[in-house]
Amino acid sequence: MKPRAASTQRRTRIQKENEQIILESALEVFSTNGFRGSTVDQIAKAAGMSKPNLLYYFRRKEDMHQALLDRLLTNWLAPLEEMDADGEPIEEICKYIRRKLQMAQEYPRESRLFANEILQGAPHIKQQLEGALRNLVDEKSGLIENWISRGKIAKCNPRHLIFSIWATTQHYADFDVQICAILAEEERIEMRFEDAAKMLEQLYVDGLKI
């Protein structure tokens, strides 16, 4: 979904900067309030611009939401795409876990935006889920099945293995408030992600090794 200003032949530096300000503000509003609970007025206020000025770039809140989801899905697919058929299987799976945890750490608002969309039935991204995401999961499931058939890792359901990694890693973004409330103060900052990575690596290594 391109911003409205992108339809002009030449976009100025200011236009590009304003688009990013708007999308950054929209991300904050949507990830906090969800799509239904967010308004154009809230996004305009967060962006520090008038509503008419914002609407020059994006006609509707749906357009901002879709632009964020399109960008998010591109980034979301990247860690799984990097799983290498020529690498050592368990090492590749552990790398994937760490990449997903890194995303949870660096992009918590995007993770919550995605979770809110899924909880609403994925009305804006169902086509992408059933297309690009499903195709990628099919491809990497085939790779994992190949590793299993070659005796490289223990027998498992590849798709549910991927689902379980999503669940355990994205939890650290979507439920960060709960995690920080439970952990001791000295564990709450950076160490919670490193501690999580070590625990998950142990869990999956022990579960997948022959």
pLDDT tens digits, one per residue of 99-154: 999 999 999 999 999 999 999 999 999 999 999 999 999 999 999 999 999 999 99
CA distance 175 to 69: 20
Q: Measure the CA–CA gap between 58 and 65, rounded to whole angstroms.
A: 10
> For 18-76, how does the pLDDT look when each residue is reduced to its tens digit (9 = 90+)?
999 999 999 999 999 999 999 999 999 999 999 999 999 999 999 999 999 999 988 88
Sign of the C-alpha dihedral computed for residues 59, 60, 64 and 66 taken in this order: negative
pLDDT score, position 12: 85
Backbone angles phi, psi at 88, to 5 degrees: -70, 125
Angle, to 10 degrees, between the axis of helix 108-119 and the axis of helix 61-81? 110
At residue 74, the pLDDT reads: 87
State the Cα–Cα distance between residues 49 and 191, nearest whole angstrom. 38
Contact 162/136 with Cβ under 8 angstroms?
A: no
Predicted local confidence at residue 187, as pLDDT = 64
Q: What would the pLDDT profile of 1-12 be if each residue is shown by its tens digit?
A: 555 555 555 678
d(CA 69, CA 66): 5
Q: Which of 157, 160, 76, 60 is nearest to 113 (CA)?
A: 76
Burial class (CB in 10 A: 0-12, 13-18, 19+), 200: buried
Cα–Cα dist 153/88, whole Å? 10
Domains of the chain in sequence order: 4-59 (1.10.10.60), 70-208 (1.10.357.10)
